[in-house]
Every structure is written in C-alpha cells, then in structure tokens.
C-alpha cells in the first residue's frame, strides 16, 4: 500500500495507467473509478494481489482528499 512517509512512485503511476480488468467499470483507468465503487470493494473485499492493493491505495488517496495528486501525475505521464 502507498505510504506517505515512504511513497513508491510506481504505485502512483500504475493508478493513472492501469485499467480496471473486469466488472461495471471494465477498461476505466483506476484513478477515474468513483469512490462509491472503491467503498463497495472495501465492504465486499478487495481483489487479491496487485489490483487489490492498488484499489485499496486509491481509496485511501481519494478519502484523504489527495485526488489532485493523481490528476497531476496523469498529466505528467500523458506528456511523456
């Protein structure tokens, strides 16, 4: 999971590049998923592995008002 005191930039890049592989929001970039969908996973259980870790991290970022961080990273990555 993303830790504010020791952030892994690759996690943030994955959040703005990786697409949801299944479900209602299939093919939606993870950072564009609505909080309600992430909260649903929080109640039902996050998927195993990297995807689950990314969704859990994304929920923490959005719930703590840090969504603009992802907007900035997404712009930087699209400019490469």
Inter-CA distances, 67 with 15, 33, 63, Å: 11, 11, 8
Whether 29 is in a domain gets the answer yes
pLDDT, tens digit, 9 for 90 and up, residues 63-74: 999 899 899 999
Whether 3 is in a domain gets the answer no
Phi (first) and psi of residue 29, to 5 degrees: -60, 135
What pLDDT shows up at residue 41? 96
Enter the tokens of residue 1.
């999971």
Enter the tokens of residue 46.
């996050």
- The answer to whether the CB of 47 falls within 8 A of the CB of 55 is yes
Total tally of structural domains belonging to the chain = 1
Give the structural domain span for 39: 9-78
What pLDDT shows up at residue 8? 80
Question: How many CA atoms lie within 13 Å of 58's alpha carbon, on the beta-carbon side?
Answer: 31
pLDDT, tens digit, 9 for 90 and up, residues 2-59: 555 566 889 999 999 999 999 999 999 999 999 999 999 999 999 999 999 999 999 9
pTM: 0.87
Whether 1 is in a domain gets the answer no
Whether 15 is in a domain gets the answer yes
Question: In the chain, where does DSSP find H-type helix?
Answer: 9-17, 35-44, 49-63, 67-78
């Amino acid at each position: 999971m993303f830790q504010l005191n020791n952030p892994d930039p690759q996690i943030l890049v994955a959040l703005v590049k990786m697409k949801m592989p299944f479900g209602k929001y299939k093919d939606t970039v993870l950072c564009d998923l609505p909080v309600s969908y992430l909260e649903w996973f929080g109640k039902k259980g996050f998927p195993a592995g990297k995807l689950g870790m990314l969704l859990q991290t994304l929920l923490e970022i959005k719930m703590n008002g840090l969504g603009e961080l992802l907007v900035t990273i997404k712009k930087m990555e699209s400019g490469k």
